[in-house]
Amino acid sequence: MAHAAANLKDQTESTEFAALLGESLQQQESFEGNVIEGRIIAMTSDFALIDVGLKSEGRVALREFTEPGQDPEIKVGDTVEVFVERMENRDGETVLSREKARREEVWIELEKSHKKGERVTGVIFGRVKGGFTVDLGGGVAFLPGSQVDIRPVRDVSPLMGTPQPFHILKMDRSRGNIVVSRRAVLEESREEVRSELLENLKEGQVLDGVVKNITDYGAFIDLGGVDGLLHVTDISWKRVNHPSEVLQIGENVKVQIIRYNSETQRISLGMKQLESDPWEAVATTYKSGDRHKGRVNNITDYGAFVELEPGIEGLVHVSEMSWVKKNVHPGKLVSTSQEVDVMVLDVDSEKRRISLGFKQCQDNPWTSFSETHKAGDELEGEVRNVTEFGLFVGLPGGIDGMVHLSDVSWDDQSEGVLKTFNKDDMIKVKVIEIEPDKERVALGIKQLTSDPFKGALEGVTKGSIVTCSITEVTDRGIEVSVNDNIKGFIKKVDLSRERSEQRPDRFAVGEKVDAKVLSVDKKSRKLSLSIKQREMDEDKEALDTFGSTESGASLGDILGAALQKQEGGDAAVVKAEPPKKKAASKKKAEDDGDSADKTKEVKAKSKKEPASAKAKKEGAADSDTKKPAAKSKKEDKA
């Protein structure tokens, strides 16, 4: 019985011991990976021996208790918190870490700050791929390069080693990963400053800013939370081709608010407005006709801009650059930065424009030429250019005169005559007209010789009767030659009074005809002629001289009566036998011949122009058919 009681007691004690041992082991297992308090029991030059209540002590390096380069501020007997990494190592010692303990403390604080959205303070102490490492008071965080600042930062060295505020973007305790941002803090501060700045912004206000970005049309200025545009035309009163000529990124500048739109929050800035406007005194300083010196600062296709003083420039149009060089690019006459003499032509202060001229500062070769030469002078010059309308010939003084196509030859007015001339040929010309105001000199080559057309026109006037030689027969009419030099043309409708006779094929080349001059075209040097008009004029003259057809008599009756009167009353001039009575049986051909002869005699005696052939035929026919009537009239007159 006693033996059974003893066994029962042993079993009970064994159970209690196992429970106590399990509880003790469970506590020991809970130590690992946690932060516990320990007491420093000894210190060496490198380590501190710490008792954490386990079966063995642990050693912790002294450098984990202080910042680099500083002495540790601990001593034997101090109580410190350490992190239990392992219960024991191969040497049977407990593995402890003060740094991990501090990190655990920091993690707890950082988690609280991250949940509340509060800022934390850290120090950038290292550079890694894609960013930087930040010490958050024991916890190491990663700072991406894009989160360092609002604008890209080329040099981060001024920020390293200096406490900076950060925002925690992400935390992962299992991986020990913390991502922070300095940019988020700056944006928050910027927004606060921006709101305050926008409330107080006014047009005309002068502010300090930093050049944030440069474009072709201007620069963006950071005013401390808000950006404004400084246009290239508002940088300076003088010409600025590109903002980079005056500004640099990161440069501190002083600007004035020109315009501010509170709805769109757009701000227009200006730098030149802080200086006096040089155009205010332009009207009194620069007057039309004044000469000044300037510097070419820009060249375009239409002229050159010349700076007269800082902020004041004028335009020299390409037409005002040279007296003689026309249609030349301004870049071939002047170069950038060249010092030049200019004359003020016009000033428009409202539009801020000054018109200048180069050539006005030089002698006018056109005026000089007009003073030394006159119309009719003969000169020799070089053919500068051959165009479809004439020749340009070089003259003294560097000017060019023009020989128009119509002044090259008396005979040939076509473009083909210009093919006989080549560039650089030396030719003789005569001055026809000088117009210095229009910068023109008219020249001529044909004027060196007399006009053959003028001599051939002697006696040939409008309305005169001329004898022509047929040179060509066409469907439209016939071409003729008068006095062997003058060309003329008789249209088809002017070949005869009778429509049936208006046929060009009735005529042959070389045949001579009499025609009336309708017009004389001295420019084209041609005559317009008409046979029809000549015939009609002859008939009209015969009627006016010998009678009228109103009484019912035909033209033949009038001519026959006139013939008999002339034969009987003027025997001293013409002795002709009185007309014999013609038999009624004579042939019509003989009657026509007699009538024609009588008509010729009348024309010769009256010393007038010949009547038309058709009038003669009609007169002869009428004299036969109406002979009794004609005889009765002759008896009455006798």
Residue-wise pLDDT tens digits, 378-409:
888 889 888 888 889 988 888 889 999 888 88
Closest CA to 56 of 96, 110, 4: 96
Please write the tens of the pLDDT for every residue from 508-528. 888 988 899 888 877 677 888
Q: What is the mean pLDDT of residues 57-65?
A: 77
- Please give the span between the terminal C-alpha atoms of the chain, in angstroms, as a whole number: 218
Residue 359, pLDDT > 80, answer: yes
* Statement: residue 138 has pLDDT above 80: no
At position 513, the amino acid (one-letter code) is V
pLDDT of 626 higher than 50: no
Mention every residue, 6+ apart, whose C-beta is less than 8 A from residue 115.
none
Residue with tokens 């008068």: 482
Which is higher by pLDDT, 602 or 480?
Answer: 480
Checking if the pLDDT of 195 tops 50, the result is yes
CA distances from 73 to 32, 37, 106, 135 (A): 27, 17, 20, 21
The tokens describing 256, both together, are 């004035």
Bridge-partner residues for 252, per DSSP?
Answer: 210
Using DSSP bridges, classify how beta strands 94-97 and 58-61 pair: parallel, antiparallel or unpaired. parallel
Q: What is the pLDDT of residue 389?
A: 87
pLDDT at 635: 39
Question: What's the rounded Cα separation, in Å, for the pair 398 and 161?
Answer: 77
How confident is residue 417, by pLDDT bands cut at 50, 70 and 90? confident
Alpha carbons within 13 angstroms on the beta-carbon side of residue 605 total 24
Selected residue with higher pLDDT from 114 and 624: 114
Average pLDDT score over residue span 443-472: 80
Average pLDDT for the chain:
77
Task: Decide if 588 contacts 582 (C-beta within 8 A).
Answer: no
Q: Taking the model in full, what pTM does it have?
A: 0.43
The pLDDT, as a whole number, for residue 366 is 83
Least confident of 320-324, 566-570, 576-580: 576-580
Question: What is the mean predicted confidence (pLDDT) over 78-97?
Answer: 76
Of residues 62 and 148, which shows the higher confidence score? 148
Helix or strand or coil: residue 415?
helix
Sign of the dihedral defined by the CA atoms of residues 245, 246, 252, 253, in that order: negative
Q: Identify any residues that bridge with 430 across adjacent strands, giving them in sequence order.
A: 378, 444
- The SS3 of residue 405 is helix
Note the helical H segments in 433-551: 452-456, 531-546
User: Of 216-225, 317-326, 336-345, 518-527, which range is least confident?
Assistant: 518-527
Check residues 312 and 175 and name the one with the higher pLDDT.
312
Judge whether 237 and 277 are in contact, CB under 8 Å: yes
| Lowest-confidence pick of 334-338, 359-363, 551-555 | 551-555
Check pLDDT > 70 for residue 434. yes
